Amino acid sequence: MDLFLREATDRIGAEDALAKIDALMDWRSFSPILKRGLGRSGFGPRGYDALVLFKCLLIGQWHGLSDPKLERALKVRLDFMIFCGPDL
């Protein structure tokens, strides 16, 4: 874990709702389902990981954010960044 991510995690704390959800879920069990659902051809740019996109979708739904608002929130909210993962 890099220094920024460690510092951000310390600042947010373990009592954050997204941190609790992230700790409780086995996210890797969703990966096969998400990859099947995306149906990527393999051509063109690789794009974001399916699990990262799924977590972004969840945050958008839970917080009632449109796509542009979600994109802005992911740039400034540490809890969103950590929940979605460092690949974001």
Regions of the chain short of the pLDDT cut 50: none
pTM of this prediction exceeds 0.85: no
- pLDDT at position 61 is 97
Contacts with 19 (C-beta within 8 Å, 6 or more apart), sequence order: 9, 12, 13, 79, 82, 83
- pLDDT at position 32 is 86
| Residue matched to tokens 């400034």 | 76
Domain ranges of the chain: 1-84
